[in-house]
Amino acid sequence: MVRACSLSSHNRPVQRLYQFIEEKRAFIALGLAVVISLGMMAMGYSEKLGLARSVAAGLLKTGHGLFSWPMGLSDLRLQNEILREQNLRLSMELVELRESKLKNERLRGLLNFRQENQSAGDYLAAKVIARDPDRITNTLLIDIGQTDGVQERMPVVTADGLVGRVLEVHSWTSVVQLLLDRNCRVSAIVQRKSRTQGIVMVEGGTFYLSHVPLRSQVEEGDVVVSSGLGGIFPGGLLIGTVTVLGDEEQGLFREVILTPGVNFANLEEVFVLKERGGE
C-alpha cells in the first residue's frame, strides 16, 4: 500500500508536465517556431544551405521509400509468378520422363516377347486407341486394319499373355474381342505332366477353366496356356494361373478359377498374330 502511494507521488510531476504541454501546445509551438527562425537568421549562408540540403535529402529518401515499396512488391509478385511457372514446367517434364520410362519398359517387354516367339508366326504391333463405348468391358479398338494385313479371328497377344481375337476389321483400324467377353472361349491345357485340358471362359468377370474332370491333377499355381485346338488360337499362349480349386465332391467336373496373365484395364500396346494354327 505504501509502495503504491509512493509510485503515485512520483508520477504526479510527469502528469502535470503532460497536462501543461496539452494546454499550452499552441504557445509552445509558436515559441519553437520563433526560436528556429531566430536560429536560422543567425546562421550564415553556407550553414543555411547545408541545412536545406540535409532536409531535402531526408525528404527525398523518405519519398523514395514510400514510392519504391509498391514497386518492390510488384517485383516480388513477378518473381513468384516466374517461380510458379518454372515449378509447373519442371513438374510436367518429370511426368513426361516417368511416362517415357514406363513406355520404354512396355516396348522392351513386347520386343522380347516377339523375339522369343518368332516361331509362332509374324506379329503386327498395334496401339490401343479406344474402347468401344457400347461394349466397354470386352472390346478394344487398335490402330491397324486391312491395309496392314489384319484379318478377322486373328489372335491378339501381349508379353503377359493372350488378350483376345480380332472381331472386326476396317481399312485402318480393327476391333479386338477380349477374353473378358463371355463369347470368347479358348481351348486350354494345364502345364503339368497330366496335361489336363479344359475351356477357358469368363462369367461375371471371373476366369474359369471349365470341363475339368473331377479327379484331374490340377493344383493352385499351375500355369494354363492355350492348347491349339479349335484353329483360332495357337498353342502355348499364356492365359493365366490357377488360384482357386473347387470342392472335389460336387458334380462331375471340378471348378477351377484362374487369374489372367493380362491386365485388361491397362492395355496400351498389343500384337496381332498373323499366322493362325493349331497343334
Domain containing 210 equals 119-273
* Residue 68 located in a structural domain: no
Residue 147 resides in a domain: yes
Domain-embedded: residue 45: no
Is 60 contained in some domain? Answer: no
pTM > 0.85: no
CA 229 to chain CA centroid, Å, is 42
Pull the grid cell for residue 33.
517556431
Q: Round to whole Å and give the CA distance between 248 and 106.
A: 40
Residue 227 lies in a domain: yes
How many domains does the structure of the chain reveal?
Answer: 1
Residue at 132 is within a domain:
yes
Contact 140, 132 (CB under 8 A): yes
pLDDT digit of tens for each residue in the chain (279 aa)?
Answer: 444 444 455 566 667 766 766 776 666 666 666 666 666 666 656 665 666 667 666 666 665 665 555 666 677 777 877 877 777 677 667 767 776 776 677 667 666 666 655 555 578 889 999 886 555 568 999 999 999 999 999 999 988 889 999 999 999 999 999 999 888 999 999 988 888 899 999 988 899 999 888 878 888 999 999 988 888 888 888 999 999 987 665 567 888 999 999 999 888 889 898 864 433
**Which residues have C-beta within 8 Å of that of residue 205, sequence separation ≥ 6?**
180
Q: How is residue 258 written as a grid cell?
A: 484362374
Reading phi first (left if > 0) and then psi (alpha if -120 to 50, else beta), residue 236 is in: left
> Which CATH number characterizes residue 157's domain?
2.40.10.340
- Residue pair 223/200 in contact (Cβ under 8 Å)? The answer is no
Q: Dihedral sign, CA of 134, 139, 142, 147?
A: negative
Long-range contacts of 42-51, Cβ-Cβ distance < 8 Å, separation of 24 or more: none
